[in-house]
Amino acid sequence: MTDMITLTGFVATVPRHFVSRDGVAITSFRLASTQRRYDRSKSAWVDGDTNWYTITGFRQLATNAAGSVYKGDRVIVTGRVRIREWENDSKQGTTADVEADGIGHDLLWGTTSFTRSVSSSLSGTAPADPPTDPATDASNTPTTGGEESGALVDGDSESVVTPF
């Protein structure tokens, strides 16, 4: 059984992107997540321990992450965590791997710009145009008498568009 987890932290390594022999895109990076807490005795914020995770995304998420996420970025990651013990010659340790379902910039620390990717692998077809806000869409004009209150009439047709 795998557990779902949401993490915030810094991208600590340059994301590694490659395509497997089977044609599956894969992107992985290390995430450093440090808890901060307020120490009343010092009247200051202090860092706690840093937890390290290996984040891996597959397919379209991997492709999008490879073009969007860079070393040093603050990100939020959701996915399935797997804790593993390992042993190698004279070394041993524990690793936390996360198979990401979602990766995004942490907007607490900055701004970003979103560009929708067009991929047939997401749904089998190209995505529909995003809904427009009738209040700001220049192709819509306000109604004049006789029509339903609050409705807008599409300038190119007889149809009535009701605002969201």
Which of 2.60.130.10, 3.40.640.10, 2.40.50.140, 3.30.1330.40 would CATH assign to domain 3-123? Answer: 2.40.50.140
The stretch 116-138 carries a mean pLDDT of 54
Mean pLDDT over each residue of the chain, to the nearest integer: 79
CA distances from 14 to 27, 65, 66, 117 (A): 10, 11, 10, 22
pLDDT at res. 2: 64
103-113 pLDDT, tens digit each: 999 999 989 88
68-94 pLDDT, tens digit each: 999 999 999 999 999 999 898 889 998
Confidence of residue 118 (pLDDT cuts 50, 70, 90): confident
Q: Is the per-residue pLDDT at 62 higher than 70?
A: yes
pLDDT at res. 143: 43
pTM: 0.68
Where in the sequence of the chain do the CATH 2.40.50.140 domains occur? 3-123
Residue 54 has a CB neighbour count (10 Å cut-off) of: 15
| CA separation for the pair 77, 29 (Å, rounded) | 11
